[in-house]
Structure 1
Amino acid sequence: MSNEADDTDEWDEIGFVISSKYRIAVLETLATGPSIPSSIAAETGLPITHVSRALRALRERSLVELLVSKQKKKGRIYGMTERGQQLWKRIEAEGLID
């Protein structure tokens, strides 16, 4: 039973990610390695406000993490958590993004 619940939880997370082009773009960028919001914005062509909002939402779900001190205001480096990496691999494997 718990395995079925785990699968449902994972699909809930996948649905959360793929329902936003911003979250997809942020995870896709972080899949190549840790980055700062301004670099993610530059690489994806997205406004920094959307990148910041996507990072916050992904952090709340433990898919990305802040790799430097929370007190640091400049040079905040984000990376994918292990859970985020697993989820991203599944999204790619299932062909759920273009």
Structure 2
Amino acid sequence: MKEIEYVKKSEKRVNVLKSLDGEVKIPSEIAEDAQILQNHISKTLRQLREHGLIECINPEAKRGRLYRLTDKGKRIMGDLNG
């Protein structure tokens, strides 16, 4: 399945990518921006990481992990926006 199709199948995935477009954020900020319940954000972040669309830039941190789009994620955002 193409990544753009994978993302479009879930409003949560689309909203998380939009939240991270040009930003670096912690999960609680992403959840608030994407209007996803806090207890659902981890699963969505994991799915997007597994598909190489986002990355955690401080994976050693137990709290306050920071996420951003990968180059692949930025390309998907370009496709979504354009």
Task: Point out where structure 1 has 5 or more consecutive residues left out of the alignment.
Answer: 1-8, 94-98
Kindly state the Cα deviation for residue 40 of structure 1 after the two structures are TM-superposed. 0.9
Task: Point out where structure 2 has 5 or more consecutive residues left out of the alignment.
Answer: none
Tell me which residue corresponds to 1:61. 51
**Runs of 4+ with deviation above 6 angstroms:** none
Tell me which residue corresponds to 2:66. 77
Query: So what's the TM-score if we normalise by structure 1?
Result: 0.77
Question: Which residue identity is paired with 1:71?
Answer: E
Query: So what's the TM-score if we normalise by structure 2?
Result: 0.91
Query: 1:33-58 deviations in whole A, cap 9, x for unaligned?
Result: 11110011122221012221111001
Identity score, percent: 34
Relative contact order: is structure 1 or structure 2 higher (C-alpha 8 Å, sep ≥ 6)? 2
Mapped partners of 1:27, 1:72: distance in 2? 22
Mapped partners of 1:45, 1:17: distance in 2? 16
Question: Which residue identity is paired with 1:13?
Answer: E
Aligned-CA RMSD value = 1.2
Structure whose CA Rg is larger: 1
